[in-house]
Chains A and B, each alone.
Chain A
Amino acid sequence: MLLYKLMRRSLFLYLALVCFIGLVAIFIVDGYLGIYDTIYITAREYEQEVEPDFWLRQDQAWSIVATWGEKTFFRYEVDNRRFSTYSTTIQASVWKENQKIIDLLTEDKVVKSFDKATVEWTLDSKELESRGFSVGEYTVKIERDGVERRIIARYPTEYPAKPVIR
């Protein structure tokens, strides 16, 4: 009886507590759990990190500037924040004018629960050159399970340095 009275008196406090627990549960289940991917790109001796929230906030392509004649290094990290194992095929390819020109990587990955997996590949502009391409913009597409990430690799024309006039 006393417990009932206490419950009745504090009913709204318990309801507020339930709402708070619901809030925390949403933050954990919807905000933290899931599959997240991070891309690390090294071009011109600079490493850039494309964090998962970039793709969550906008469905745009990440842009990098690279030097023609040099390699660009990619590292793709898949973070499995789920209670089950995640299996996927990761594909990376280079596209120009909506046509695939080079397959960079195709790899099957099994990521254990709350674990990470990383794949690496290189975009060599000399390979593009050997196929008859020159400076310009290329799209590197990374695909896994219907998720597509696009990186625009820009190769600007390198002008020779101006001679110093004394």
Chain B
Amino acid sequence: MRTYVLYGFGVVLCIAGIAYLAAEYVKYLSEPGKLACLILMAGMFAFLGKYFYKIGW
């Protein structure tokens, strides 16, 4: 149980770090760049969802 709590902390910190860096750098992106990022992010989550669905999660 304690291991999973530590895993949880690790995951949350990783996500927070990536979100912070993305928020810092996103202001330097042009408008088409932001749109492309949005599309790619939607695609990434969709494909990940599909993958996990296929392996039976």
Interface positions of A (Cβ within 8 A of B): 9-10, 12-13, 15-16, 19-20, 22-23, 26-27, 30-32, 52-53, 56-57
Cβ-neighbour of B54 out of A9, A23, A52 (below 8 A): A9
Contacts beyond the supplied A9-B55, A12-B51, A13-B51: 10 A-B pairs with Cβ under 8 Å: A16-B44, A16-B47, A19-B43, A19-B44, A22-B40, A26-B36, A32-B25, A32-B28, A52-B28, A53-B28
Q: Which residues of B contact A32 (CB under 8 A)?
A: 25, 28
Size of the chain B interface, CB-CB below 8 angstroms: 22
Q: How far is the CB of A35 from chain B (nearest CB, A)?
A: 12
Top 6 nearest A-B pairs (CB, nearest first) are A30-B33, A19-B44, A12-B51, A16-B47, A31-B28, A15-B47
Q: How far is the CB of B40 from chain A (nearest CB, A)?
A: 5
Q: Are B54 and A30 in contact (CB under 8 A)?
A: no
Given A12-B54, A26-B33, A26-B36, answer yes or no on A31-B26 (Cβ-Cβ < 8 Å). Answer: yes
Interface positions of B (Cβ within 8 A of A): 22, 25-30, 32-33, 36-37, 40-41, 43-45, 47-48, 50-51, 54-55
Q: How far is the CB of A121 from chain B (nearest CB, A)?
A: 27
Q: Are B47 and A27 in contact (CB under 8 A)?
A: no
Q: Which residues of B contact A52 (CB under 8 A)?
A: 28
Cβ-neighbour of B25 out of A13, A16, A31 (below 8 A): A31
Provide the bound-state CA to CA distance between A20 and B34, in Å.
14
Q: Which residues of B contact A16 (CB under 8 A)?
A: 43-45, 47-48, 51
Q: How far is the CB of B21 from chain A (nearest CB, A)?
A: 9
Q: Which residues of B contact A31 (CB under 8 A)?
A: 25-26, 28-29, 33
Q: Which residue of B lies closest to A14 (CB)?
A: B47
Q: Are B44 and A23 in contact (CB under 8 A)?
A: yes
Cβ-neighbour of B29 out of A15, A22, A27 (below 8 A): A27
Q: Which residues of B contact A53 (CB under 8 A)?
A: 27-28
